[in-house]
Chain A
Amino acid sequence: AQSVTQLGSHVSVSEGALVLLRCNYSSSVPPYLFWYVQYPNQGLQLLLKYTSAATLVKGINGFEAEFKKSETSFHLTKPSAHMSDAAEYFCAVNPKRAGSQGNLIFGKGTKLSVKP
C-alpha cells in the first residue's frame, strides 16, 4: 500500500533560520507529490506540487522541494523562516494508479513553530 511518512510531528526553528520538513513516500512508480499548509481553523492550501517535470519545485511563500527518486523523498525547505510560517504542513501523494485519481494519501503532518 502507498504511504507517506513525515519525520517529526513537531519542528521548531528560530526566525530567520532554515526550515526543513521531511517527507518520504513509498510507491512502485514515481507518484505525484504535494505539500499543503494548514493554518488553525482553516482548510489546506497548496504550497507546491511535483508532477514529473523539474525535480526542484518552487512554491509559494518562498518554499521549495526537491524530488529525489533514489531516496524516495520530497523534503520541503525555506531558507529563512518567518513568524507567519507557523502552521501545520502536510505532504501528500497521488499514486497515479488507475482509479486512484483524487485519492490523495496524506502524511500525519508536521507542526512548525517559529521562535522570535
Chain B
Amino acid sequence: KAGVTQTPRYLIKTRGQQVTLSCSPISGHRSVSWYQQTPGQGLQFLFEYFSETQRNKGNFPGRFSGRQFSNSRSEMNVSTLELGDSALYLCASSFGLAGRNEQFFGPGTRLTVL
C-alpha cells in the first residue's frame, strides 16, 4: 500500500506570493491533518479534514487555509507569504478521525520564503 505522498517536496517563493501544497493520503484513509514544523516553534497543528469537512483548527492566521476533496486528497493554501512561513509542512492521514488512531505522515513539503 502506498504511503502518504506530498507534492511538491521543495518550494521557493517570495514574500507576498501565495502557495498551494498537496497531500494524497493512504488509500482508504479519510482523515488528513496538516502540521507546520520550524526550528523555533517545533511541530504545530494547522487543521484536520475528515470527509471534506474541517473538523479541527490550530492557532494560525486566516492566511492558512485548506480543503479536502471527495477522494480524500487535501490541499493547503498560504496566501500573502511571510518570511516566517518558511517551514516543513507535514501532512498526516488516518483511517478515522485522528486521535487514538495512528496518523501516518508524509515526507513533507519544505517551503522557503525569500
Contact = CB atoms under 8 A, between A and B. Distances in A.
Contacts of A96: 99-100
B56 to A, nearest CB: 5
Contact of B56 (A43, A51, A102, A106): A102
A105 interface: yes
Contact of A106 (B33, B43, B99): B43
Nearest to B42: A108
Contacts, number: 71
B103 interface: yes
Nearest to A49: B102
A94 B107 contact: no
19 contacts: A32-B100, A42-B107, A43-B105, A43-B106, A43-B108, A44-B105, A49-B100, A90-B43, A94-B99, A100-B56, A101-B56, A102-B45, A102-B48, A102-B55, A102-B94, A102-B97, A102-B99, A103-B56, A109-B43
Interface of B (DSSP majority class): strand
A51 B100 contact: yes
Interface string B79-110: 00000000000101010011110111111100
Interface in A13-71: 32, 36, 41-46, 49, 51
B74 interface: no
A99 B56 contact: yes
Interface size class of B (residues with CB under 8 A): 20 to 34
Contact of A104 (B31, B97, B103, B106): B103
Contacts of B31: 102
A41 B100 contact: no
